Each structure stands twice: as C-alpha cells, then as structure tokens.
A and B are shown apart, each in its own frame.
Chain A
Amino acid sequence: SAVISQKPSRDICQRGTSLTIQCQVDSQVTMMFWYRQQPGQSLTLIATANQGSEATYESGFVIDKFPISRPNLTFSTLTVSNMSPEDSSIYLCSVVKGWETQYFGPGTRLLVL
C-alpha cells in the first residue's frame, strides 16, 4: 500500500486568491494524480502529475487554473488559482503502487467565499 499525506487538510479562502496543496508519499511512485470531488459527487481526474515534465490535464482543466509541480517521485503540489466559490471541493492526491492499484490521500477540503 501507500501512505499519502496532504497539506493543508482544509482551508477557507477568499475569491481571487490562490491556494497550493501539497502531497507527500511514503515511497517513490511513478504515477501520481490529482482529483477533485465536488460536494456529494464522485471523483473527477484533474491531471496526471509527471515527474520532470509538464502535467497532463484532462478535458475541462487547464494549467493556468491548476498549475502542478512534481519535483521528485514522492512529492507534488497542486495550485488552485484565482479561486471562485465554484472551486469549493475536496482535492485529492492519488498514486499507483503495484499493478494498477490506486491509493488516495486524505484530501484537502477547500471552501471559497
């Protein structure tokens, strides 16, 4: 399995500001992802965080809004930029260990006022 930690665990932010979320894994992983879970909904993939290169974004998500860093194989950050109330969600870091077995962090609960 994988032990994943995220910081912050929750935050309340003002619209127009940005928040950077950190994800730390207890071991090196190749595949790392960022998901969003809106209230009462399932999980939606934002992007794949690639080590040493630009992240790969899913349809509907862009780098200017959700810049991602992946400086090494155990760490990644997701920034939610120029926030609006619609960005209020849980943001989840996820990694793959073993064969296609995906684990999730505890999430970062974001409320934008």
Chain B
Amino acid sequence: GQQLNQSPQSMFIQEGEDVSMNCTSSSIFNTWLWYKQEPGEGPVLLIALYKAGELTSNGRLTAQFGITRKDSFLNISASIPSDVGIYFCAGHPLNPQGGSEKLVFGKGTKLTVNP
C-alpha cells in the first residue's frame, strides 16, 4: 500500500527557533492533513490541505500541499515550549477511479523545545 515518509523523525530545538518537517510519497494524494499529538491525548487536527499548491496558515503554523501532489511540509515559526509533541502527516491517496483511498499516516516527528 501507499506509504508516507515523514522526516525528520525527531527534532531538538531552542525556544524561538523555526521548525520545518515534511512528508513525501511515491503516490499522488488528494488531501494532506497535519496533526499534533501530545502525551495522553488523541491527535488534534492542525491544518487540512485540499489542492496542489495550497498554502495554509494556522497561527504560527504554515503547511503546503506540494505541487506534484506527492509531498507536503509543515513549518512552525518562533517555537514555544507548548509546541512539544508528536506531529503526524496524513493523507488520502488517489485511487485508480479518481477518488480517495483511506487515510494513510506518516510515522511522526517528535518535537522537543528547550526553553
């Protein structure tokens, strides 16, 4: 089945730094979703992207749907300690009929922010 390659696996940064993570695939995707999961919680949707080239912001977070439809990135600007968590990319791959397959997840990027 389709796989998402999410990188980096983990990041250790200082408060105030910017963060960038990305997901790539060999398959075309119809939708890209970015989630944050904190310890003891379920994944929380941060940003949803629906078409190639789309660039969407949510506060200090910005995500883009790659123009090839095979990748997406998430940037966090001016990180703060509460940004700590695991960030997952996910997407709906294109199926042969032109619709979407079920949601596929990356393995996550664990973010640690040092105050």
Check B111 for interface membership: any CB of A closer than 8 A: no
Partner of B100, one of A45, A92, A100, A106: A100
A39 to B34, CA, bound (A): 20
Check A42 for interface membership: any CB of B closer than 8 A: yes
Which residues of A sit under 8 angstroms from B30, Cβ to Cβ?
100
A69 → chain B closest CB, angstroms:
20
Q: Are B92 and A43 in contact (CB under 8 A)?
A: no
Report the count of interface residues on B (CB-CB < 8 A).
22
A44 → chain B closest CB, angstroms:
8
A83 to B44, CA, bound (A): 28
The A contact surface, by secondary structure, is strand
Which residues of A sit under 8 angstroms from B107, Cβ to Cβ?
41-42
Partner of B45, one of A45, A101, A106: A101
Q: Which interface class (under 10, 10 to 19, 20 to 34, 35 or more) fits A?
A: 20 to 34
A1-12: CB near B (< 8 Å → 1, else 0) gives: 100100000000
Which residues of B sit under 8 angstroms from A104, Cβ to Cβ?
35, 42-45
Q: Are B88 and A43 in contact (CB under 8 A)?
A: yes
A42 to B4, CA, bound (A): 11
Q: Are A102 and B42 in contact (CB under 8 A)?
A: no
Which residues of A sit under 8 angstroms from B105, Cβ to Cβ?
42-43
Which residues of B sit under 8 angstroms from A45, Cβ to Cβ?
102-103
Partner of A100, one of B31, B40, B41, B106: B31
Residues 39-71 of A contacting B (Cβ, < 8 Å): 41-43, 45, 48
* Between-chain CB contacts (< 8 Å), 17 pairs: A1-B45, A4-B42, A42-B106, A42-B108, A43-B43, A43-B88, A48-B102, A90-B42, A99-B31, A100-B30, A100-B50, A100-B92, A101-B45, A103-B45, A104-B43, A106-B42, A109-B40
New contact pairs (13) apart from A100-B92, A102-B45, CB-CB < 8 Å: A33-B102, A42-B108, A48-B102, A92-B43, A99-B31, A100-B30, A100-B50, A101-B33, A101-B45, A102-B33, A104-B35, A106-B41, A109-B40
